[in-house]
Structure 1
């Protein structure tokens, strides 16, 4: 218990540091929110009528269909910001300086992770608010919304650790800004914008088995009462696997020789 208290105190200090960075440099947060909102408005008002007809409804039905995919896109975009932030600390020598100080080594990564999770959840709340303004109408009750928050928080936690590992592995900030970019494509190459049944066989197989699709289908089931099947179990399994693997990778990278 005596060893845990200093670690928690140091982690809280690092969390405050990251939160202050978000307040002082709001452009990244605005970008994280702005891009998904632009995609939401684009797909609803430009493609919504046509794509909505394809799923047996109109623009209103498509708002309900596409919003879970936009939420996952927000999450993927936030991973890029996390990787860049971690890489900047590594490249600028701040982490090397922290290593010489009498602080918990784990607190540096913990501060990044908790701060990024909070930033991502806030960004997703803004996106959901915009979606409600343009016609998003879920019929979920309080318990279903609580389950939605739990699923999102778990997957955000997993992707944040992956982003931290990618930021630690990057040799430059530019590299760190590019390596998480494939995550932005996964909602498109899944059930985020169109049903997987409409895709060619090979792409359909990938879309059905990649990590984002079960999360999206779980969110739709919780928000609109549609059948979830085994999607929730698969989504949790993916989140746990990504979180554990990314955490171990990040710790190995962080504990390696500072000279790289």
Structure 2
């Protein structure tokens, strides 16, 4: 199967957008979700916090697995977990079940974000990689703008559970598209046989490198501040300032647009 060059940016963009859509699409529903499940605002926010945690942890493992077993197998496993976990979110009877399902959703969904970049490296030279990565970064910038707007529009029609059903459908369609149009891009002779022990050895050396840790800490504080805003903004806008759920996405999107332009 040949690489579909014209379709490739769209396929990889859809893979990379899993994170922003899964985080931002249900933000307009966050206060309503907590009330519907009889939980506190803090518990509802925890469903978002565990997603961030799952995204961070999952990326540690998917990179080495994709280098060892190829790109498609981890993609199929991860996206299957993501799709099933999204269904579990939609059917969650209580906040504890939702939090657990959100963790699994993140652990599965982060495979798309990791492997989309790996595929770029597999199929392009240096100049081609720059062009293709620029397109992926554009998707990563646009997705947080449109995701809460879409979520707000869907919320009034199908409710917060329907938003998770849409995310499950997104994962299922992406699985089908990858099965049909994205062949394996890492040849067997290029695969690495390093085990997780070697990977953890690299991490241990990095954690002991003060220069690396200084930059990582600075970046982490910036991202942490942004995630704190993401977690708290639905309650501030909608409960304190009376913004309607269907309008919240425009406020959030304006902020995301400013970040992208900056």
- Settle same-fold status: TM greater than 0.5: no
Task: Please give the TM-score of this superposition, normalised by the length of structure 2.
Answer: 0.31
TM-score using structure 1 length: 0.31
The higher-RCO structure (CA 8 Å, 6+ apart) is: 2
Q: Counting helix residues as a fraction of each chain, which structure ranks higher?
A: 2
